Amino acid sequence: MSGTSGMFKLKPFYDFDKTQIDLPDCMFKMANIQGNSSQTNSGEVDPAVAALERRQEAILTDLRSMETEVAALTTKIQPNAQDKTSAPSTSASPSSSKLVSGGLHDVVIYANPNNPPYSLLVLYEQLKQQFRCLTKVHMHSSISSVPDKLIGYFNQNGGQPLLRMDAQLSITLIWKNVSQGPEMKIQANSQTPIQGEVNILRYLSRLLTPAYDASDDIITVANIDNFLDLASSTLLNGTSKEKAAGVRGLNSALGRGAWLVGSGPTVADIAVWSALHQTGLASGAPSNVQKWLKSCAAQSDFRTALNAVA
């Protein structure tokens, strides 16, 4: 072969590709069963397979790019190994470190002036310990007036007010006619509003302790969640019968310990405390609950919040 190709090339006498051969078309057409027919066939028969193959390739490249992206991110963020082990279930992103890293984190909360979320006050006192906190209270134009007490809702403790750009966390409270309980917005365009007081509490307490629901044993977490649900679905939104039953349950739970969960106040205490004060159930509560309310009032953060309640 090499010998012949080394001499010269010979043009074919007949170029079948170019010459027009008039095939008779009087009868019917038949597919070519010889030659390259098999090749074209495979190309025609398998478009589905080919598409599948293309899709697989695309997915694979996507996965690969995602892998490199994640790798790049890990080098940048360097996730804490401890965080990972202690918080296996939730994403528990180190949001507190995000807050520390700079930029103002503005949390907007809409609340109805008829049902002020008192829990916010307690949590604000706690957040203030950890972050440079800023609060702003506004009244929405859809309501005509709110009591002065609600305009000066947060305890400012006097002193030089923080510059907005120096603050890490800002709570913007807007009094508005929201019907489904308080509403929270952080990233308006990429987030659906978080509704309900206890859900806002869940978010804010995760700011305090990013791995809050995984730090202790799973039972404590479940217990806290149980009381948060009690506060929201029974005490705040239940019928009067359900409310009474809820308070009775609370009473028996507080018979077992001074605090709702564990040996000290938790977010569960804050939520239930706020719910009792909002609904006016606090005044006629049974003895164990009364005792617990008193020990709440002895805590400094609850005490400042109590000023707004009174």
Partner 1 sequence: MADNGGNVENNQGDAPISKKAQKKAQKEAEKAAKKAERQAEQAAEAEAEAGDDFAKDLYGNYPLIQSQNKIERKIYRVEELTADKIDQKVWIRARLHTSRSKGKQCFLVLRQQQFNCQGLLCVSDKVSKPMVKFAANITKESIVDVEGVIAAVPQPIESCTQKDVELHIEQIFVVSPAEPRLPLQIDDAARAEGKDDDDSSLATVGQDVRLDNRVLDLRTTTNQAIFRLEAGVVQEFRAAMKKRDFVELQIPKIISAASEGGANVFTVSYFKNNAYLAQSPQLYKQMGIAADFERVFTIGAVFRAEDSNTHRHLCEFVGLDMEMAFKYHYHEALDVIGSVFNDIFRGLRDNFQTEIQTVRRQFPSEDFKFLDPPLRLEWPEGIKMLRDAGIEIDDLEDLSTPNEKFLGRLVKEKYDTDFYILDKFPLCIRPFYTMPDPNNPQYSNSYDCFMRGEEIMSGAQRVHDSKFLLERAKHHNIDIEKIKAYIDAFRYGAPPHAGGGIGLERVTMLYLGLDNIRKTSLFPRDPKRLTP
| Interface contacts to partner 1, rule CB under 8 A | 103-104, 106, 108, 110, 136, 138-142, 163-165, 172, 174, 176, 185-190
Q: How far is the CB of 67 from partner 1 (least distance, A)?
A: 23
Q: How far is the CB of 295 from partner 1 (least distance, A)?
A: 37
Decide whether 105 or 291 has the Cβ nearer to partner 1: 105
Two structure tokens written together for 115:
């049902």
Decide whether 84 or 164 has the Cβ nearer to partner 1: 164
Q: How far is the CB of 103 from partner 1 (least distance, A)?
A: 6
Q: How far is the CB of 76 from partner 1 (least distance, A)?
A: 17
Decide whether 193 or 262 has the Cβ nearer to partner 1: 193
Tell me the pairing of strands 105-111 and 194-195. Answer: unpaired
Mark 63-93 as b/e (b = at least 16 C-beta within 10 Å): eeeeeeeeeeeeeeeeeeeeeeeebeeeebe
The CB-side HSE value for 276 (13 A sphere, CA atoms) comes to 24
The DSSP symbol for 170 reads: E
- DSSP state letters, 10-33: ---S--TTTS------SS------
Report how far residue 27's alpha carbon sits from residue 33's, in angstroms, rounded to the nearest whole number.
17
Q: How far is the CB of 254 from partner 1 (least distance, A)?
A: 39
Report how far residue 289's alpha carbon sits from residue 280's, in angstroms, rounded to the nearest whole number.
13
Decide whether 31 or 165 has the Cβ nearer to partner 1: 165
Decide whether 172 or 295 has the Cβ nearer to partner 1: 172
